[in-house]
Structure 1
Amino acid sequence: MGQAIKKRNNVQVLGSGRQTLIFAHGFGSEQSAWRHQVAEFQKRYRIVLFDHVGCGGSDFNAFSPHRYRGVHAYAEDLLELCEELKLTDVTFVGHSFSGMVGALAALVEPRRFRQLVFVKSTPRVLDDPDSGYVGGFSRAELDTFFEAMSSNYYAWASGFAPLAMGNPERPELGQEFARSLSSMRPDIALAFARLVFQYDHRGDLPRVKVPTLIIHAGEDLAVPNQVSDYMARRIPLAKMTTINARGHLPHLSAPVEVNRAIDSYLAAAA
């Protein structure tokens, strides 16, 4: 693999098998969040892990507010990674905003993707009162959110993480997410958050022609229940499955349920 892309995105290739699974983390997270999925699938599949620029072990110096002002830039990174590894016909598993990263990449080079799997993904976080779309946050709530991030990022991270995790009886999960959020540079985190919480890719959903699994995991702080239904109605080849989980990171809080949903989808397409 070219060292530039490997360093930029901290790319790791694990496991073995003819079929490749790519796991992509969401805002404030990193590739280690997929460890339960890696443990389950690496004996049967080739696994590709990476960190988005600005997160985890990526090259923070590669971050540019100009380049990474839209989701398309992260989709370009993904396609460059696929080209470098000569990947086609992969299953892409994206958490949160990474679902849209995979969707946009699949629109540009559909041959790269056999299936998409969305884990708590969303085409838009911001509510749209004019259309009746419920995304999870009002404009006023987002303004307060960004102000809190700007004024004291680390205090914001420690408070936001357990709320997003949504499993208060297991504080260690919230603490883990707080650590990964706090590992980001505050300026990158704020720019990243402004992108993630304000993009709108609802119009791209009907154009996605790759089979897509939407893992619906109950209410959470960032993605209301209605969002899964919305995507399932608009992606032509979408299937939705409901698991017993809560919070925004079910691959960490309910890994057995997430693994079972992915495994069933893979088996059905084999």
Structure 2
Amino acid sequence: MTAVDRHNVQVFGRPDGQPIMFSHGFGCDQQMWRHVAPAFADDHRVILFDHVGCGGSDTSAYNPLLYSTLNRYASDVVEIVEELDLSDVIFVGHSVSSMIGVLAHLAAPDRFAALALVSPSPRYIDDGGYVGGFSESDITELFFSLDSNYLGWSQSITPVIMGEQDDPALTNELTASFCRLDPTIALQFARVTFLSDNRDDLPKVTVPTLVVQCAFDAIAPPVVGTYVSEQIAGSELCVLDVAGHCPNMSAPHETTEALKAFLSGLPRP
């Protein structure tokens, strides 16, 4: 099976436009970009996909040993890019996909022109002077909840992820997305996500980078976004005056405008 089929890749927009690739976070799928991605179709070749085990991907391709680190997810991104023969790719990653994008860029630097990291976190656990937002006991409790009552955990965590929203439909949509994910895969993906540490990879980034941070985020606090921006030389930090961890869903207009402002300053390929 090709990578395009395995990851339910969807391509639309301007065929000769610079590629822009949108990558979803934990518990989500490519539909979470539906209010943002179409805004780039006039000028760009837009690529959407699902990580293995999520959305419309081929779940049978999931192997817990292979997907025990974020590097495998990054390899999938590179495989998609190579199969479509893309170059000068603008990679837009949400949450854990931000670090997946960083790793993909480092693995295939000639394929990527820029990174946009939306609500990123290189490490979720506090470590010495580093503030990630969670203690080790917090993460242990999270894994226990996931393992013992995944559906209950999904219903309780999604309001925290979405922040204070006037539209409960957004929270319900995210809950439904979590509930579509196989609990076994969800637990493994959660372990890979929340135990990862990609702080040492940030200074290696060599392409223009945008960090999009929500002003109020319980999953990746503002201090984390500031840290990511400080570690990537020359990166831009855009703080959206919104709450939550999924601005691509809760604040699509603000997210789109931040991305467009960043892209307008990039050199043309």
Normalization by structure 1: what TM-score?
0.96
> Does residue 150 of structure 1 match 2:176?
no
Q: 2:5 is matched with which residue?
A: 7
The unaligned stretches of length 5 or more in structure 2 are none
TM-superposed CA distance for 1:239, in Å, is 1.1
Q: How many residues align?
A: 266
Letter of the structure 2 residue corresponding to residue 67 of structure 1: L
CA distance in 2, matches of 1:11, 1:92: 14
- What are the within-5 Å matches in structure 2 for residues 120-269 of structure 1? 120-128=119-127, 130=128, 132-269=129-266
Q: 2:62 is matched with which residue?
A: 63
RMSD (Å), alpha carbons? 1.0
Conserved 8 A contact 1:216-1:240 = yes
CA distance in 1, matches of 2:260, 2:165: 28
CA distance in 2, matches of 1:216, 1:162: 18
Q: 2:77 is matched with which residue?
A: 78
Q: 1:26 is matched with which residue?
A: 25
Q: What percent identity do the matched residue pairs reach?
A: 42
Conserved 8 A contact 2:95-2:119 = yes
CA distance in 1, matches of 2:214, 2:41: 24
Conserved 8 A contact 1:100-1:122 = yes
Normalization by structure 2: what TM-score?
0.96
SS in 1 for 2:20: strand
SS in 1 for 2:210: strand
CA distance in 2, matches of 1:219, 1:138: 19
CA distance in 1, matches of 2:155, 2:2: 33
TM-superposed CA distance for 1:237, in Å, is 2.7
Conserved 8 A contact 1:161-1:178 = yes
CA distance in 2, matches of 1:96, 1:126: 15
CA distance in 2, matches of 1:168, 1:77: 33
Conserved 8 A contact 2:154-2:178 = yes
CA distance in 1, matches of 2:116, 2:243: 18
